[in-house]
Amino acid sequence: MRLDNSTLLLVEDEALLRRRLAAKFEQAGAEVAVASDLTEARRLAAEMSFDFALMDVNLPDGRSPELLEEKIFGSSTVVLIMTSEGGIEGAVEAIRLGASDYLPKPVDVNDAMLRMAAARKRRRRSRGDTFKQEKETAQSAAIVFGESLQKVRQQLDRILVADRRLAETGTVQPSVLILGETGTGKTSLARWLHHQGPRARGPLIEVNCSALPEALAESELFGHERGAFTDAKETKIGLFEASEGGTLFLDELPSLALPLQAKLLKVIEDREMRRVGGHKTISVDVRIVAAAQDILAEQVARGDFREDLRQRLDLFRVNIPALRERGDDVVELAQTFAVSIAQKYGLGEVVIPIEGAERLRGHDWPGNVRELAHEVERSLVFGDDKLTFASLDRGAEGVSSEHPWLAAGFRFPEEGGFDLENAITALVEQAMEQAGGNATGAARLLGVPRDFVRYRLKQAKR
């Protein structure tokens, strides 16, 4: 068992035991700071962050649970308590205040390291659970590998075979790049790949890169040390660490700023990272699955995405066709959604009739699978329980009732009075709906910067 690149605070008043334990932990690769009492422990904790703290219950100037009550350690520090015979009460108190475990004296260092590793794994998983949002909607249903997705399924099966071979040798699986229009099901595909592969027992952390504030994106991905910036009041584990042993899904990857793309590239290449404000190198065992629009090559040509990062990710590439290109699969997919949604709302059995299937095949589906899921749910909720999808027949007339300037043959009023601001806002909102609420996707549809879309939406709320 090793503790390479870890920092450990050892708080023990007995000098001989302190030296013996410190030497053993240093041999295991840890950087050890020692304290003989609470006062010294407080000073060291204020000066640096620790991955682990191993403390005796009773010390010359008090009891170590006081330090937990004072919250001098960050949430990422794993605290273990050492107890002499009869000291169980103090250990129980320490665990109530946040300690991970307790060890009876004399301390077995190998046992201590195993407990530290297990506790750190639990902390990382907790960080991942805090971030992860379970989306129990129709869009999260199992992928329907119809006729149009057989090529995709074959690619995925080959990737899984390669993954299992690499897992047997302890090698980290290469990154996967999923390309497709907004709403084609890239997230569902990433989930399927994770749950079918050798990392299924590990965490799956999903990150929408376009939703990460630029100023905080690096901290979210890689974590930060206490004091790294103004609001960094304690050490924070990043999503790379939270994904240890599992998969990190980076959706809308080109939304990350170019400097952050460079850091991501280095982490993928070296399998090592540093937290923001940190100097310690942390090894990461994470499988990266990245998703982007099918215009990634154009984004590289414009300089919005790094060519070297694209090449690094492009080893295992999967292209998902747009829904309009998937023929009869749209009906099978809609039926799958209908069953799932009917169960959610407590409805009876639903079957799509011939009339509804014809409308589904004839629609262009600019919002792809996401739009289809919404259309099925809307139909069931608003009374089209026979799923004829009559609402898909609305054309320019249905649109022009609210925005007549979208209809063919529209002419501006001779007397003036056309409201251009409202028209722009309406176009932005329509693009947002088509893009499934994704600002980056809406900006791409409109041919404008993402900040413009966010600005117009903010103005519309005033």
Q: Which two tokens stand for residue 379?
A: 């139909």
Task: Kindly tell me if the per-residue pLDDT of 135 is higher than 70.
Answer: no
Q: Verify that 364 and 447 share a domain, yes or no.
A: no
SS3 of 403-434: the string is CHHHCCCCCCCCCCCCCHHHHHHHHHHHHHHH
Average of per-residue pLDDT across 417-442:
83
Question: Are 356 and 277 contained in the same domain?
Answer: no
Q: Where are the beta strands (DSSP E) in 351-449?
A: none
pLDDT of residue 225: 84
Q: Are 170 and 284 part of one and the same domain? A: yes
Same structural domain, 104 and 210: no
Condensed to tens digits (0 to 9), the pLDDT of residues 317-349 reads 999 999 989 988 999 999 999 998 988 888 888
412 and 383 assigned to the same domain:
no
Residues 6+ apart with CB under 8 A from 209: 217, 250, 251, 252, 253, 254, 255, 256
What does the pLDDT read at residue 234? 78
Count helices and strands in the chain by DSSP H and E runs: 19, 14
Interval 230-248: pLDDT, tens: 777 777 888 998 898 999 9
172 and 263 belong to one structural domain: yes
pLDDT of residue 150 exceeding 70: yes
What are 319's strand-pairing partners? 179
Q: Which residues contact 4 (CB under 8 A, 6 or more apart)?
A: 28, 29, 30, 283
181 & 314 share domain: yes
Residue 142 has pLDDT above 60, yes or no: no
Question: Is 205 a member of any domain?
Answer: yes
- Show the CA angle centred on residue 260, arms to residues 257 and 261, nearest 5°: 85
Measured distance CA(377)–CA(141) in Å, rounded = 13
CATH number of residue 450's parent domain: 1.10.10.60
Q: d(Cα 52, Cα 117) in Å, to the nearest integer?
A: 10
Distance separating alpha carbons of residues 338 and 349, to the nearest angstrom = 9
Specify the pLDDT at position 269: 93
CA distance linking residue 253 with residue 265, whole number of Å: 12
Do 162 and 282 fall into the same domain? Answer: yes
Q: Would you state the pLDDT for residue 408?
A: 45
CA distances from 47 to 8, 40, 44, 55, 340 (A): 13, 11, 5, 18, 54
Q: Is residue 129 part of a domain?
A: no
438 and 299 housed in the same domain: no
- 115 pLDDT more than 50: yes
Which of 372, 366, 59, 308 is closest to 182 using CA atoms?
366
In this predicted structure, the answer to whether residue 216 has a pLDDT above a threshold of 90 is no
- pLDDT of residue 399 exceeding 80, the answer is no
Select from 440, 434, 436, 435 the least CA-distant residue to 454.
Answer: 440
**Quick check: is 270 in a domain?**
yes
187: domain CATH number is 3.40.50.300
CATH number of the domain residue 335 falls in: 1.10.8.60
Residue 166 binned pLDDT confidence (cut-offs 50, 70, 90)? very high
Segment among 12-26, 118-132, 157-171, 436-450 with least mean pLDDT:
118-132
Range with lowest mean pLDDT among 40-44, 378-382, 418-422:
418-422
Is 334 a domain residue?
yes
Q: Which residues pair with residue 288 across a beta bridge?
A: 248
Tell me the pLDDT band of 305, cut-offs 50, 70 and 90.
very high
Expressed as residue numbers, the domain containing 196 is: 138-321
Token pair, residue 169, equals 């040798």
Count of domains forming the chain: 4
107 and 244 in a single domain? The answer is no
| CATH code, domain with 118 | 3.40.50.2300
Dihedral sign for Cα atoms in the order 26, 30, 35, 37 = negative
Cross-strand bridge partners of residue 207: 250
10 or 435: which leads in pLDDT: 10
pLDDT of 5 over the 80 cut? no
On the question of pLDDT at 403 being above 80, the answer is no
When pLDDT is cut at 50, 70 and 90, the band that residue 278 belongs to is confident
Structure confidence at residue 134 (pLDDT): 40
Can you read off the two tokens belonging to residue 345?
Answer: 């709302």
| Average of per-residue pLDDT values in the chain | 85
In this structure, are 263 and 362 located in the same domain?
Answer: no
Q: Do 312 and 336 reside in the same domain of the chain? A: no
